[in-house]
């Protein structure tokens, strides 16, 4: 009898211990944990952040990897991540970082300074040709990392750098023990493709990949080895499971959020959905957070690569006057009112009010003036030669521009439809070519287009950290990326100003220099902007612990503190 009772007690104790192990040390009834289902409109093309430039891969990297230092998306302050403390040398060029002790990768392998060195090596390896390398350069030169001991690294900047260590926020620390062989053999660009078994994706982030169903979802579970703890000393992340559902259709996304089968929309919501979401909010089903004015407005640019085949025989497509004319001919307020239903601001450049101190409200900009636009177009040989109301070029061919944009994005397609109608009024024809994202990126990267209306998420408010856009050598210098030397005097001028402002440690001087950058940009308008939407973050009322920010990822920048209360979505 006693023996049986003892066996029963032992059995119950073992079950309890197992349950505790798999669930983690949680407080009963604390409401922490759960399963969060978020939508993502585009699928990733890799797990390898170093080789993929697209945003979904950055998002996955934020979930499964960790940087040395993280930038708080709300306050802009630096927060310790894998580095717990840091100190600068007297010349401000070298930073000594103390690494967190006792940290292990998700497979249990200890994290050391060798992993940091490996990550920098992979980042700058020429064979890898990392998509994020140009953004991790200072004055086109790489950072140098040295290991002082197993848990201390020294990082030397090639030149003074105003934003300081915030540059490290973009670099995920990778596992040397699993990836070094691939880097040595020159195969690093092919590792961690989407066909990699999830168990092989090893990281230091709060989650690990558990499952990937192409076209449907990617499921993450809590990294049991994650190093983060909350202020009460509880293990992070709170969530047991996080699911990214790939929902390209915005209508379906909104319906699911309202129906309660989605917890979070990771992309911006459309103004036209606001009224319905507001009603859901009044019923306490959804929470809406006004995060501020977007910092990554979409822009229209032309292929300015000299000799680009797609603009052959139509030199006017690359003239400054054409872009100025478009800027003058488009009534931005009309786009704000119609496409964004008022939930946006007219935008005249890439730096919006959301950039805080970097925004220059007094910057001269084009006012709606179709007559001046027509005069400008005439100055480059585009005029109505046959009285049909349409402009023709010097050879008599109709003046038409083909603009590629992303199919399925209501805001992009509607904005271009509005631009098309407004430019049609001055006789300039616009053909909108809506393409699937993959095809769109392929054409942009390959230079196989005349003009594009698109953009990329801005991941930092400090312009020096966005040098990819501003510098002529940058991968995101959309109109003519990756130049070996600046193609135009004004791009050289912007390069010089950007170098000067990134090297300055004086914030006021940096702001002034960046204002000059914006003035040169406005003079030549390599990209024409129309509206900067107000960012509203929509999530289920069950989500707690979110700190929404205007910079993407707006909520998942801090995934470890998210939790879902109540019954989970299955």
Partner 1 sequence: MMRGHDTGPAMTPAQRVGRAILVAVALGALLAPWIAPHRAGDQLTDRAYAPPTRVRVHDAAGFHAPFFYPQTLTDRLRRQFGVDTATRVPLVIGRGALLQSSAGDQPLLLLGADSLGRDVFSRVALGARWSLGVTLLGALGALLIGAMFGAFAAVAGGRADAWLMRFADFVLVLPAVYLVLVLRALLPAVLSTADVFLLMALLFALAAWPHVARGVRAIVAVELRRDYAEAARAAGAGRWRVVAHVLPATRGFLAAEMILLVPALLSAEAAVSYLGLGFPEPTPSWGTMLQEAANVRVLTEAPWMLAPAAALFIVVFALQLAGARASTRAVFFDSLASHASDPS
Contact segment (CB under 8 A) with partner 1 among 26-34, 111-119, 193-201, 247-255 equals 247-255
Site membership for partner 1, residue 418 (CB under 8 A): yes
The distance of closest approach from Cβ of residue 247 to partner 1 in the complex, given in angstroms and rounded to an integer, is 13
Residue keyed to tokens 């009834």: 29
Structure tokens at 312: 């052959």
Q: CA 342 to CA 355: how far, in whole Å?
A: 20
Structure tokens at 138: 């200072």
Q: CA 155 to CA 144: how far, in whole Å?
A: 6
The distance of closest approach from Cβ of residue 217 to partner 1 in the complex, given in angstroms and rounded to an integer, is 22
Q: CA 552 to CA 54: how far, in whole Å?
A: 12
**Identified binder of partner 1 from the candidate list 144, 255, 441, 511, rule CB under 8 A:** 255
Cβ(388)–Cβ(419) under 8 Å? no
Contact segment (CB under 8 A) with partner 1 among 56-64, 93-101, 401-409, 469-477 equals 401-409
Q: CA 555 to CA 538: how far, in whole Å?
A: 10
Contact segment (CB under 8 A) with partner 1 among 74-82, 90-98, 197-205, 429-437 equals 429-437
Site membership for partner 1, residue 273 (CB under 8 A): yes
Site membership for partner 1, residue 440 (CB under 8 A): no
**Identified binder of partner 1 from the candidate list 38, 69, 399, 404, rule CB under 8 A:** 404
The distance of closest approach from Cβ of residue 288 to partner 1 in the complex, given in angstroms and rounded to an integer, is 12
Site membership for partner 1, residue 424 (CB under 8 A): yes
Site membership for partner 1, residue 432 (CB under 8 A): yes
Cβ(296)–Cβ(344) under 8 Å? no
Q: CA 513 to CA 497: how far, in whole Å?
A: 6
Cβ within 8 Å of residue 471, ≥6 positions away: 134, 140, 477, 494, 495, 498
C-alpha 415: how far from its chain's center? 21
Site membership for partner 1, residue 254 (CB under 8 A): yes
Site membership for partner 1, residue 342 (CB under 8 A): yes
The distance of closest approach from Cβ of residue 344 to partner 1 in the complex, given in angstroms and rounded to an integer, is 11
Buried/exposed code over 190-225 (b: 16+ C-beta within 10 A; e: otherwise):
ebbeeebebeebbbbbbbbbbebeeeebbbbbbbeb
**Identified binder of partner 1 from the candidate list 184, 431, 506, 523, rule CB under 8 A:** 431
The distance of closest approach from Cβ of residue 437 to partner 1 in the complex, given in angstroms and rounded to an integer, is 13
Site membership for partner 1, residue 414 (CB under 8 A): yes
Structure tokens at 491: 């791009």
Cβ(530)–Cβ(253) under 8 Å? no
Contact segment (CB under 8 A) with partner 1 among 128-136, 330-338, 353-361, 517-525 equals 330-338
The distance of closest approach from Cβ of residue 380 to partner 1 in the complex, given in angstroms and rounded to an integer, is 21
Q: CA 13 to CA 512: how far, in whole Å?
A: 67
Q: Which is nearer to partner 1, 273 or 296 (CB)?
A: 273
Q: Which is nearer to partner 1, 334 or 365 (CB)?
A: 334
What DSSP element (H or E) covers 344? strand 344-346
**Identified binder of partner 1 from the candidate list 35, 225, 334, 372, rule CB under 8 A:** 334
Site membership for partner 1, residue 288 (CB under 8 A): no
Q: Site residues (CB under 8 A) for partner 1?
A: 251, 254-255, 271-276, 278, 334, 337-339, 341-343, 400, 402, 404, 407, 410, 413-414, 416-418, 420-421, 424, 431-435, 439, 449
């Amino acid at each position: 009898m006693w023996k049986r009772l003892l066996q029963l007690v032992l059995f119950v104790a073992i079950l309890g211990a197992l349950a505790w192990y798999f669930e983690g040390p949680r407080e009963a009834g604390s409401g922490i944990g759960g399963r969060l289902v978020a939508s993502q409109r585009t699928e990733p093309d890799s797990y390898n952040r170093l080789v993929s430039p697209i945003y979904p891969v950055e998002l996955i990297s934020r979930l499964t990897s960790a940087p040395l230092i993280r930038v708080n998306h709300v306050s802009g302050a630096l927060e310790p991540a894998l580095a717990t403390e840091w100190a600068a040398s007297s010349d401000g060029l070298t930073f000594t970082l103390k690494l967190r002790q006792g940290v292990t990768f998700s497979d249990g392998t200890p994290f050391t300074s060798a992993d940091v060195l490996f990550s920098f090596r992979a980042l700058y390896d020429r064979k890898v040709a990392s998509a994020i390398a140009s953004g991790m350069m200072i004055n086109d030169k790489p950072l140098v990392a040295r290991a002082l001991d197993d848990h201390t690294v020294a990082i030397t900047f090639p030149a003074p750098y105003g934003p300081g260590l915030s540059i490290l926020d973009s670099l995920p620390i990778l596992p040397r023990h699993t990836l070094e062989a691939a880097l040595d053999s020159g195969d690093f660009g092919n590792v961690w493709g989407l066909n990699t078994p999830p168990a092989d994706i090893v990281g230091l982030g709060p989650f690990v990949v558990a499952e990937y169903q192409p076209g449907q979802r990617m499921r993450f579970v809590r990294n049991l080895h994650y190093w983060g703890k909350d202020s009460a000393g509880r293990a992070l992340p709170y969530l047991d499971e996080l699911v990214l559902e790939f929902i390209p259709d915005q209508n379906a996304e909104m319906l699911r959020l309202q129906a309660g089968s989605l917890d979070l929309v990771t992309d911006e919501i459309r103004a036209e959905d606001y009224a319905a979401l507001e009603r859901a909010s009044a019923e306490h089903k959804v929470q809406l957070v006004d995060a501020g004015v977007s910092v990554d407005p979409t822009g229209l640019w032309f292929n300015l690569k000299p000799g680009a085949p797609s603009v052959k025989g139509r030199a006017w497509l690359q003239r400054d006057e054409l872009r100025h004319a478009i800027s003058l001919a488009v009534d931005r307020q009309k786009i704000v009112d119609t496409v964004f239903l008022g939930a946006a601001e007219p935008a005249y450049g890439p730096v919006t009010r959301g950039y805080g101190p970097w925004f220059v409200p007094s910057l001269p900009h084009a006012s709606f003036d179709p007559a001046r636009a027509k005069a400008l177009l005439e100055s480059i040989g585009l005029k109505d030669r046959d009285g049909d109301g349409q402009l023709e070029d010097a050879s008599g061919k109709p003046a038409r521009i083909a603009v590629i944009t992303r199919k399925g994005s209501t805001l992009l397609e509607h904005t271009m439809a509005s631009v098309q109608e407004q430019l049609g009024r001055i006789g300039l024809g616009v053909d909108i070519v809506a393409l699937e994202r993959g095809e769109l990126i392929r054409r942009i990267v390959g230079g196989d287009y005349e003009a594009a209306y698109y953009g990329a998420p801005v991941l930092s408010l400090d312009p020096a950290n966005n040098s990819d856009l501003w510098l002529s050598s940058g991968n995101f210098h959309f109109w003519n990326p990756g130049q070996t030397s600046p193609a135009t005097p004004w791009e050289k001028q912007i390069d010089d100003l950007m170098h000067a402002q990134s090297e300055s440690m004086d914030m006021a001087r940096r702001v002034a220099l960046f204002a000059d950058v914006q003035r040169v940009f406005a003079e030549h308008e390599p990209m024409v902007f129309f509206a900067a939407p107000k960012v509203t973050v929509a999530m289920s009322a069950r989500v707690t612990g979110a700190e929404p920010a205007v910079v993407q990822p707006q909520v998942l920048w801090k995934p470890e503190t998210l939790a879902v209360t109540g019954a989970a979505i299955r």
